[in-house]
Amino acid sequence: MPPPKFAAPTVPAPTPFRAWWMAARPATLFVAVVPVIVGAALAWREAAALDWRVVLVALAAAVFIQIGTNLFNDVGDFERGADGADRLGPPRPTSLGWLSPADVRRAAATSFGLAMVLGAWLVSVGGWPIFVIGIASVVAGVAYTGGPKPIAYSATGEIFVFLFFGLVATGGSYYLQTGGVTWPVITAGAMLGALAAAVLVVNNYRDIESDRRAGKITLAVRIGRPASRVEFALLVAVPFAMLPLFGRAVGLGWPLFLPLATAPFAAWLIRDLARAPVGVALNGVLKRTAVLEFLFGMLLAAALAV
């Protein structure tokens, strides 16, 4: 098989710092940070105490894992020929020749290594369950676009995101503070995981044609655009349907209206995905979906802290 070729540049080459910044995809870091904050906020509400050292180290570890995953995704998609000249999403530095694949791989390994160093201290706090979570998160980050059967090239991407950016991250953060897991934290993780998965749905919805040509058989490729719009609507709506159950479980009164206030924004996004033409306009829908996840999660954390 011939080596992959760089895609034809469509934008001027940025500065090296800007290229690395784009490869790290900072806008996606919210998806990694929010569940850690919500898990800690729920622990604070139930225990009236919080170890801020643990919160900060867990946040840093989550960010490094996400950056490593993004970098590995950048080089992985390039090597598999998934980021061609017909790409509708944001420019990818490796495929455009702005960064060398070897450098990006080293940076990804460094980011994962830093996460594991921080994770070693978290293991000393939380024990073997945190060790399992840390190893599984790093392995999943590499397997997302690496190995013989990458997660991103299958119909299981939404499940991966729901688990790791919802249940695992929220539950792990809570466990580090309390030493246990409860139904409320599982519910909170499910709400955040659904919104994080909705972000991926928009990404895959936008890229159906190019993914199909590259052999990237995502769930969107399998079920098509109409069904993907239904999937997106369900993932965005379910967290709001779960809010009353969650509020009752943790004894939230009026603060529950804080995350509920983002419901009109969610409805707007469902309408936008249905109306937006297939093309670069969907990048805006993707960004706004990530903003919804961030706002919902942070307002949920604020409601728990009141």
**Residue 256 CA to its chain's centroid (Å):** 24
Q: For 78-137, what is each residue's pLDDT tens digit?
A: 877 766 656 667 778 888 889 999 999 999 999 999 999 999 999 999 999 999 999 999
**The CATH number fitting domain 16-305, selected from 1.10.10, 1.10.600, 3.30.420, 1.20.120:** 1.10.600
CA atoms of 115 and 124, how far apart (whole Å): 14
Round the average pLDDT of the chain to a whole number and report it.
90
Domain boundaries in the chain?
16-305
Cβ distance 138 to 110 under 8 Å? no
Q: Which residues, at least 6 apart from 111, have a Cβ–Cβ distance to it below 8 Å?
A: 64, 65, 67, 68, 71
Q: Look up residue 187 and give its amino acid.
A: T
Provide the pLDDT for residue 273.
95
Residue owning tokens 């980011």 = 111
pTM of the model as a whole: 0.91
Residue 79 amino acid letter: E
Q: What are phi and psi of 63, to 5 degrees?
A: -65, -45
Run of H or E residues at 195: helix 183-206
Going by pLDDT thresholds of 50, 70 and 90, the confidence category of residue 10 is low
Digit-coded pLDDT (tens) for 226-260: 999 999 999 999 999 999 999 999 998 899 999 99
